């Protein structure tokens, strides 16, 4: 059971580290933002407290030192600069290692932690004043006193803590409980030690100390109780609300005398002892209560679920979709109206369950983009370039399996943008550009697809240079005329690179072909566009999900093929259009627009069909439309897409297969790749003639 709790702590701690990274990027841009400093401090405090509770003692000790820096920042004793931000990023990497390793046992690891801690402590250790002094916030003008209403908006509490003698048995460190309390606001603490036995009878694992804490905070009683949530059975806690006022922070002489007397007499203080600090003018508590109630009402109940369980649910729903198709087919054959009605209702429920289960498997893209912000920041130092990473539309959601496959391609693209694309600052200045280069990631929905554009404002790609490299590597025959799009697509060839020299970042020619193949695995497409000295844009077009799609079942030469409904704009009959052919180009006229078309039977089976009853599927292809001619349309179905076997993976035009309700097999057509294949084949045929 303890291991299970430890695993939950590690997962939550990793979430906190990711949140810390995101907050650090914002803090680097807004170093005076106090809310960000508080957010960072509290995340570190949570990691520290949880680490101590679940036995990650080295993690807790390390994070405590890091937390001290940001405690000084929020108390205006230290100013945020790039050096502190870099040190914190480096420390977060080390925290991830400690979460993976647990407590350190080898000498090398212990020495390494000492080095990290020493590097952190130089900011606040008194005997190393030079670095700390250089970082300290300049005390040019005294900070203005906080307004009285703001101070009085806090509530004051007297918290009495009586731990059981066995509290230490489960590894709890009570000092961290006090740390959690005192992090909530202004505080005074008293320790009562009369129950500690003489040295001769002293037992290190038996706790004999009690505490009282005076706390002035904006948190409510429930937040204070949450501090004791894991020790409520080993600790007696009493929380009493005191009269309002700012006396705890100001520490007037009567309060100091009251605390000194209680400590000397070893007597608990009571709420009545603080009536003397009662002020005539009180702040009405109603607005505070209403605000608290509004915040409570705004909370959304969530729960953490293992991704494997969601995968199992989606797989079960996929099988249910297949069974539902079989049931619907059986109901149609039977002809019983009651059975048909049941099949229709089952189809509605299956569709609803499918949509709900897929929504569970969708995760925001934003959470995965922090690693790229960190990558660009590190590359900026490595490459001696000024780089900025901008995200638009990071709140869109994608299937987690798609996101997992997407990370490596995006990593390659961003590395190439930083290394090959964006120039050195002095070179950009000569071109009249801002010395700081920008890498923009823009994500948005387009129908049932997600479009991710990654662009830079660098030097772009030179088509002449690309074509020359292509000829040198034997990818293009000399004298062949290629369009700009075809030349740019040469970068996806295996081993192709225009880098003058190999670096640690890129230039080995193993990047863009990986991008193409990885995106193809998730039924996506990559489009490249570039203008010399203006920049490069790579567009990734991705499906929302991989498992189940709404498809149109068609037949060609008696075989079944599925075309995703999201790709189809319209279904046309032969009588609606006027066909024409010029050389190898086939097209038809529809609503005043000349549209190219592909006869699927001729492409797949090399057999021409002339039946006027055939249908034309008008599908999207980039910014234009293309017609696909099929023999017959069977109907619309929910399709469970299964991956192809190893013998058919090389057939790019087919993205998967599906078992239909009657047990027959249907192949799923990837319309973009089918059109690309047809165009390449037509071009080669034209060149041979």
* Residues 110-145 pLDDT 10s: 777 888 788 888 876 644 333 333 333 433 333 333
Task: Give the pLDDT band of residue 505 (cuts 50, 70, 90).
Answer: low
In a 10 Å sphere around its CB, with 0-12 CB exposed, 13-18 middle and 19+ buried, how is residue 218 labelled? middle
Assess contact for 496 and 507: CB atoms under 8 A.
no
Query: 595 or 326: whose pLDDT is higher?
Result: 595
Asked if 237 contacts 159 with a C-beta cutoff of 8 angstroms, the reply is yes
At residue 296, the pLDDT reads 40
This prediction's pTM: 0.62
Q: Could you tell me which residues come within 8 angstroms of residue 416 by beta carbon, excluding any fewer than 6 positions away?
A: 506, 511, 512
Residues 167/231, Cβ–Cβ less than 8 Å: yes
b/e map of 325-334 (b: 16 or more CB within 10 Å)? bebbeebeee
The predicted structure's pLDDT at residue 198:
84
Whether the per-residue pLDDT at 429 is higher than 90: the answer is: yes
pLDDT at 153: 64
Q: What is the pLDDT of residues 645-677, one digit of tens each?
A: 666 666 778 878 887 777 788 888 888 888 888
Mean pLDDT value across residues 282-308: 52
Indicate the range of 85-89, 283-287, 487-491, 683-687 predicted with least confidence. 283-287
**β-bridge pairing 210-217 and 362-364:** unpaired
Over range 573-601, report the average pLDDT.
Answer: 82
pLDDT at 423: 92
pLDDT for position 546 = 65
Rounded Cα distance between 513 and 516, Å, is 5
Mean pLDDT across the chain? 80
Report for 390-399, 476-485, 507-516, 604-613: range of highest mean pLDDT: 390-399
Cβ 16 vs Cβ 43: under 8 Å: yes
pLDDT score recorded for residue 76 = 84
Q: What is the pLDDT of residue 157?
A: 93
Higher pLDDT residue, 158 or 108? 158
Statement: residue 464 has pLDDT above 60: yes
**pLDDT-derived band at 621, boundaries 50, 70, 90:** confident
What pLDDT is stored for residue 646 in this prediction?
67
Least Cα distance to 237 among 227, 250, 247 occurs for: 227
d(C-alpha 45, C-alpha 399), whole Å: 32
Residue predicted with more confidence, 234 or 106: 234
Phi/psi of residue 209, nearest 5 degrees: -115, 145
Q: What is the pLDDT of residue 284?
A: 43
Average pLDDT over residues 575-580: 80
354 or 53: which carries more pLDDT confidence? 354
Three-state SS string over 79-98 comes to: CCCHHHHHHHHHHHHHHHHH
């Amino acid at each position: 059971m303890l291991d299970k709790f430890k695993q939950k702590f590690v997962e939550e701690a990793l979430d906190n580290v990711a949140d810390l990274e995101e907050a650090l990027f914002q803090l680097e841009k807004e170093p005076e933002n106090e809310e960000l400093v508080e957010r960072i401090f509290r995340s570190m405090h949570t990691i520290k407290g949880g680490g101590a509770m679940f036995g990650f003692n080295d993690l807790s000790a390390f994070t405590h030192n890091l937390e001290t820096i940001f405690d000084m920042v929020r108390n205006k004793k230290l100013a945020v600069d790039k050096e502190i931000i870099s040190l914190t990023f480096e420390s977060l990497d080390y925290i991830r290692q400690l979460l993976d390793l647990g407590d350190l046992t080898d000498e090398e690891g212990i020495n390494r932690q000492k080095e990290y801690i020493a590097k952190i402590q130089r900011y606040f250790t008194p005997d190393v004043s030079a670095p700390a002094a250089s970082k300290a916030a300049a005390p040019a003008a005294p900070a203005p006193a906080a307004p009285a209403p703001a101070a009085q908006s806090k509530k004051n509490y007297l918290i009495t803590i009586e731990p059981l003698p066995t509290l230490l048995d489960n590894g709890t460190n009570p000092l961290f409980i006090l740390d959690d309390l005192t992090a909530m606001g202004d505080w005074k603490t008293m320790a009562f030690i009369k129950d500690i036995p003489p040295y001769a009878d002293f037992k290190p694992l038996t706790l004999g100390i009690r505490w009282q804490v005076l706390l002035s905070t904006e948190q409510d009683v429930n937040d204070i109780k949450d501090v004791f949530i894991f020790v409520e059975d080993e600790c007696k806690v009493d929380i009493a609300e005191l009269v309002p006022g700012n006396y705890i922070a100001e520490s007037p002489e009567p309060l100091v005398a009251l605390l000194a007397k209680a400590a000397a007499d070893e007597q608990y203080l009571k709420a009545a002892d603080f009536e003397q600090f009662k002020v005539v003018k009180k702040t009405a508590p109603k607005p505070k209560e209403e605000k608290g109630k509004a915040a409570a009402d705004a909370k959304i109940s969530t729960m953490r679920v293992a991704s494997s369980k969601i995968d199992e649910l989606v797989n079960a729903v996929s099988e249910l979709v297949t069974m539902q198709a079989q049931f619907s087919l059986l109901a149609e054959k039977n002809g019983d109206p009651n059975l048909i009605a049941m099949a229709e209702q089952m189809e509605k429920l299956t569709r609803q369950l499918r949509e709900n289960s897929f929504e569970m498997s969708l995760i925001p893209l934003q959470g995965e983009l922090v690693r790229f912000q960190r990558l660009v920041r590190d590359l900026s130092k490595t490459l001696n370039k000024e780089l900025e990473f901008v995200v638009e539309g990071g709140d869109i959601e994608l299937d987690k399996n798609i996101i997992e496959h997407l990370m490596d391609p995006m990593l390659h693209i961003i590395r190439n943008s930083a290394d090959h694309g964006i120039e050195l600052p002095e070179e950009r200045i000569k071109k009249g550009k801002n010395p700081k280069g920008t890498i923009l990631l823009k994500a948005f929905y387009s129908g049932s697809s997600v479009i991710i554009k990654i662009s830079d404002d660098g030097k772009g790609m030179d088509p002449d240079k690309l074509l020359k490299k292509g000829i040198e590597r034997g990818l293009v025959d000399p004298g062949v005329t290629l369009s700009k799009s075809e030349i740019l697509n040469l970068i996806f060839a295996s081993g192709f690179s225009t880098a003058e020299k190999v670096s640690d970042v890129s230039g080995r020619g193993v990047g863009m072909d990986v991008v193409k193949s990885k995106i193809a695995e998730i039924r996506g497409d990559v489009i490249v566009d570039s203008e010399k000295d203006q920049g490069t844009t790579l567009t990734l077009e991705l499906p929302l999900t991989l498992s189940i799609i709404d498809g149109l079942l068609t037949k060609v030469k008696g075989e079944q093929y599925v075309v995703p409904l999201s790709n189809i704009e319209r279904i046309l009959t032969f009588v609606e259009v006027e066909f024409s052919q010029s050389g190898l180009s086939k097209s038809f006229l529809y609503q005043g627009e000349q549209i190219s078309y592909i006869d699927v039977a001729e492409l797949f089976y090399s057999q021409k069909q002339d039946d006027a009853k055939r249908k034309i599927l008008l599908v999207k292809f980039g910014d234009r439309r293309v017609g696909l001619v099929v023999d017959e349309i069977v109907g619309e179905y929910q399709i469970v897409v299964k991956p192809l076997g190893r013998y058919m993976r090389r057939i790019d035009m087919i993205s998967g297969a599906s078992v239909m309700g009657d047990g027959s097999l249907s192949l799923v057509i990837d319309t973009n790749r089918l059109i690309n294949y047809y165009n390449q084949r037509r071009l080669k045929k034209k060149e041979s003639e």
